[in-house]
């Protein structure tokens, strides 16, 4: 999804560089990070040493960097320099600074517009087209969805309460209009994050909800509470919620969206965060057969029938 428009290279400041010997380095993103690698100059001609240790080389556009290095040592061919630079960018040791990117167009639907703006507006590679108040969804379906910007590629629903009526409505809209969907909400002391980036692979929100409900030990109590929420269109979390829990869920949602967009990452899991007990868990998203929403069989009302 990200398109590099200009080639201005800089050293990734997040990397820790440990020199083992000339032409050999250990690079880590953190002491316990799984993202670590060894850089080794097989020809041992000090090209790697110069790139890593000469701080005056960066930031610089790629073509100028190649020319400058070839002038430092005539032994280094431009082809070899370019190959080394590519290797370092592949490892994310070098990256493109201030590169123009094609941003993913997002519409945010939420009951907390001001708080959502503070967090989601900071996500790189995202262009927020508009923030819609979820109360607008109480109008007729057609009237509400007409307010959603047609240019949006991803619809993000963030709610401080479990709002199934809204979730079903937006789920159906995204299926019909082929838009990616992320639903994130608080339900008391729990946060739920459901990334539905590709319905053909992950199923839709209805699939997720059926899968989740199948594991509940208190399913009857849950169904009674859910029916009342649908009937009254309200829940305590609509007005009263723990702001720390909300902040934690906003941050997790932002991180997931950044990961999905920046790395073209298809996520096959939904996440539950028990903020009271500090326990996080994930649910493997499964596409059930004959879902009436995402597979078009209107004669079925339940995928298990």
Contacts of 65 (CB under 8 A, 6+ apart): 9, 57, 58, 81, 85
In this prediction, residue 267 has a pLDDT band, given cuts at 50, 70 and 90, of confident
pLDDT of residue 263: 65
Instruction: Identify the pLDDT of residue 46.
Output: 93
Mean pLDDT, residues 156-168: 94
Dihedral angle over CA of 267, 130, 248, 208, nearest 10: -40
Mean pLDDT of 84-105: 81
Looking at the chain, which runs of residues are DSSP E strands? 8-11, 16-21, 24-28, 36-40, 60-61, 94-96, 104-110, 126-133, 154-159, 180-187, 190-196, 269-274, 279-284
Mean pLDDT, residues 179-202 taken together: 93
136 against 32, higher pLDDT: 32
Which band of pLDDT confidence, cut at 50, 70 and 90, is reported for residue 5? very low
- The pTM (predicted TM-score) of the whole model is 0.77
Q: How far is 155 from 170, CA to CA, in rounded Å? A: 8
Average pLDDT over residues 211-231: 88
The per-residue pLDDT for 4 is 39
Segment 166-188, tens digit of pLDDT: 999 999 999 999 999 999 999 99
Residue 61: name the closest of 94, 103, 90 by CA: 94
Task: Report d(CA 242, CA 274) in Å as an integer.
Answer: 13
pLDDT at 72: 93
* Contact of 259 with 265, CB cutoff 8 Å: yes
Q: pLDDT tens for residues 100-130?
A: 567 899 999 999 999 899 889 888 778 899 9
Residue 178 makes CB contacts below 8 A (sequence gap 6+) with none
Q: Which of 177-181, 255-259, 265-269 has the weakest average pLDDT?
A: 265-269
Relative to beta strand 104-110, strand 126-133 is: parallel
**Is the per-residue pLDDT at 48 higher than 80?**
yes
The pLDDT score that the predictor gives to residue 153 is 93
Domains and CATH numbers, the chain: 8-96 (3.90.930.70), 104-284 (3.40.50.720)
pLDDT number for residue 206: 92
What is the β-pairing status of strands 16-21 and 269-274? Answer: unpaired
Average pLDDT, the chain: 85
By C-alpha distance, which of 88, 96, 77 is closest to 52? Answer: 88
The predicted pLDDT at position 136 comes to 67
- With pLDDT > 90 as the criterion, what percentage of the chain qualifies? 48
Distance CA 211, CA 192 (A): 14
> For residue 239, what are its two tokens?
């007005």
């Amino acid at each position: 999804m990200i398109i590099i428009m200009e080639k201005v290279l800089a050293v990734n400041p997040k990397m820790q560089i440990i020199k083992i010997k000339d032409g050999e380095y250990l690079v880590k993103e953190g002491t316990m990070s799984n993202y670590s690698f060894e850089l080794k100059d097989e020809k041992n001609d000090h090209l790697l040493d110069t790139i890593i240790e000469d701080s005056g080389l960066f930031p610089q556009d790629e073509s100028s960097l190649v020319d400058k290095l070839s002038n430092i040592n005539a032994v280094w061919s431009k082809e070899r320099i370019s190959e080394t630079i590519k290797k370092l960018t592949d490892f994310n040791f070098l990256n493109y600074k201030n590169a123009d990117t094609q941003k993913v167009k997002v519409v945010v639907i939420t009951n907390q517009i001001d708080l959502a703006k503070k967090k989601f507006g900071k996500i790189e590679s995202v262009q927020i087209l508009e923030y819609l108040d979820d109360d607008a969804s109480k109008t007729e379906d057609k009237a509400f969805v007409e307010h959603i910007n047609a240019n949006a590629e991803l619809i993000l629903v963030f709610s401080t309460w479990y709002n199934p009526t809204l979730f079903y409505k937006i789920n159906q809209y995204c299926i019909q209009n082929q838009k990616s969907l992320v639903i994130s909400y608080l339900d008391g002391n729990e946060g739920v994050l459901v990334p539905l980036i590709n319905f053909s692979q992950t199923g839709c929100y209805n699939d997720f909800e059926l899968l989740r409900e199948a594991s509940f030990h208190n399913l009857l109590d849950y169904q009674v509470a859910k029916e009342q929420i649908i009937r009254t269109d309200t829940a305590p979390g609509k007005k009263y919620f723990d702001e720390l829990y909300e902040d934690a869920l906003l941050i997790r949602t932002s991180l997931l969206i950044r990961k999905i967009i920046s790395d073209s990452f298809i996520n096959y899991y939904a996440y539950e965060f028990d903020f009271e007990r500090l326990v996080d868990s994930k649910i493997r998203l499964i596409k059930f057969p004959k879902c009436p929403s995402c597979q078009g069989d209107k004669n079925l009302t339940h995928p298990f029938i």
